[in-house]
Amino acid sequence: MFPASPAYVPVLLHVKWFIRDHDWTPQAISRVITPTFHFWLGFTLIILLIASLSTPYMNRHAWSIAIDRFMNRLKPHMLTFLRIGLGIGLMMQLFTGTYLAPTLVSHDPGVYVVLILAILGLIHKRTLVISGAAILTLYLIVSRQYGLFHAFDYMFYLGIIYTLFVANTRLHHTYPIVLYLFSGISLAWLAMEKFTLAKLACSLMHEYGIPSLGFTVEDFVLISAFIELGLAWAFIAGLMNRFSALILTGLFLMTTTIFGITEIIGHAVVHTLLLVFIIGGRDASTTLHRLMPNAILRHASVLVSFVLLLFGLMSIYIWMGQPHSWFV
């Protein structure tokens, strides 16, 4: 574990918000995969295996049951928490002249009219579909203006859009699953940034004087990427979701002391999602490792799926991020 000091947190943030160098191209997988990469991949798989093996026992522990009982009282209000937090996050963007993310700025007043509609639609449950349509419009604008490669950094908004669209339908019970899925994929996508564009995170650490805990800066960034991807997979697979959300919330709060208002604006909506996950717990997750009836297959599937996610997503990230790609 990392010491609980703002100066000693891993680089679990969106590096592109803070770095001045925007001339970057994802490097090939052959350059990413090194002996150090293999070591930390193995270490991450061991941690995931331990998490998979210990989850059933932790769920039966007295303190875990007590937490579940308390959080179950808040579950009926999950959508309310989401509406309030999302509204606060969107208003922060409006007041700073941005939309969806701290670095996304438009000179078109119409964009901010749509942003205002997204905020107003959150006031009443029956108008959530208006807010969903407005955020979808903003996401399409981002995709067109900045390219899908950049828009995919904010895939968690797709889960939010789905939630707002189905909140008043018979599919309302499915929105936690979709939120977990898109939030996990979005976090995993950002991990690819650190795997294939490590020089950006290294430059950020040098610029802000972030210590590397005795590791080389390159190794520290690689470790951060595996932590980020491990937490992402925990959300997707349904491993200790409440605990993972608490860890991520704590890390983001600590990095706020370093990066200030930009990170506050950028992660306000993410903090809202993490609060929803803390309330929802494991019952709201996709819980992929419940699908296998055999225990050995269940635990093995967690590891195999993680490796497939890592290399599959990395291949897509590198392909989409090339300079002459249609997605950039």
E strands, the chain, are none
Distance CA 215, CA 227 (A): 15
pLDDT for position 22: 54
Asked whether residue 326 is domain-assigned, the answer is: no
Q: Which domain holds residue 290?
A: 18-320
Q: In the predicted model, what is the mean pLDDT of the chain?
A: 80
Which of 65-74, 133-142, 187-196, 234-243 reaches the highest mean pLDDT?
A: 133-142
Confidence bin at 240 (pLDDT 50/70/90): low
pLDDT score at 138: 96
Residue carrying structure tokens 């294939």: 196
Percent of all residues in the chain with a pLDDT value above 90, rounded to a whole number: 33
Q: What value does the mean pLDDT take over residues 217-236?
A: 84
- Cβ-contact 121, 92 below 8 angstroms: no
Quickly state the pLDDT bin for 322 (edges 50, 70, 90).
Answer: confident
pTM over 0.85: no
CA distance 119 to 83: 9
Residue 70 maps to a domain: yes
Among residues 282, 267, 312, which one has the least CA distance to residue 12?
A: 267
Say how far apart CA 122 and CA 257 lie, in whole Å: 30
Q: Is residue 291 part of a domain?
A: yes
Q: Give me 189's structure tokens.
A: 């996508």
Residues 6+ apart with CB under 8 A from 274: 245, 246, 248, 249, 252
At 214 the pLDDT is: 61
In a domain, 216, yes or no: yes
Is position 5 within any domain?
no
Mean pLDDT of 219-241: 82
In a domain, 12, yes or no: no
- Which three-class secondary structure state does DSSP give residue 101? strand
Contact 142, 320 (CB under 8 A): no
Q: What is the pLDDT of residues 177-215, one digit of tens each?
A: 899 889 989 989 988 988 988 666 656 555 555 655 566
CA distance 290 to 127: 35
Does residue 4 lie in a domain region? no
Is residue 251, in this structure, part of any structural domain at all? yes
Which of 326, 17, 27 has its CA nearest to residue 192? 27
How many structural domains is the chain composed of? 1
DSSP state, residue 26: P
**Residue pLDDT, tens place only, 121-153:** 999 999 999 999 999 999 999 998 888 888 898
Of the listed ranges 14-23, 117-126, 307-316, the one predicted with least confidence: 14-23
